[in-house]
Amino acid sequence: MGKNYHVVPSDEGWKVKREGADKAGSVHDTQREAIEVGRERAIRDRGELVIHGEDGKIRDKDSYGHDPYPPKDTKH
């Protein structure tokens, strides 16, 4: 299983945090920028990108590694 990355809101902007890490890997002005960076890292590490909304709740997930139970949705 690869590393999972979360895009989360903060007082400084939008953070990209590796799951289990104490500190954010990077901070961005917009959620879009954070998603792009998080996606690149998840693809590189064959993990999952978890995108949180402004309220902190998960609003989307994308897997980039081997997923034994892939979703049946058609969002992409």
For residue 36, tell me if it sits in a domain. Answer: yes
Integer Cα distance of 24 and 15 in angstroms: 6
Residue 39 in domain: yes
Whether this model's pTM surpasses 0.75: yes
Contact 4, 48 (CB under 8 A): yes
In a domain, 73, yes or no: no
Q: Is residue 16 part of a domain?
A: yes
Within a domain: 68 = no
Residue 66 lies in a domain: no
What digits encode the pLDDT tens for the residues 36-45?
999 999 999 9
Of 60, 57, 64, 24, residue with least CA distance to 41: 64
Q: Into how many domains does the chain fold?
A: 1
Identify whether 32 is part of a domain: yes
- pLDDT tens for each residue of 20-59: 999 999 999 999 999 999 999 999 999 999 999 999 999 9
Question: Domain range spanning residue 24?
Answer: 5-57
Asked if residues 19 and 7 have their Cβ atoms less than 8 Å apart, the reply is no
Q: Tell me which residue has tokens 């690869």.
A: 2
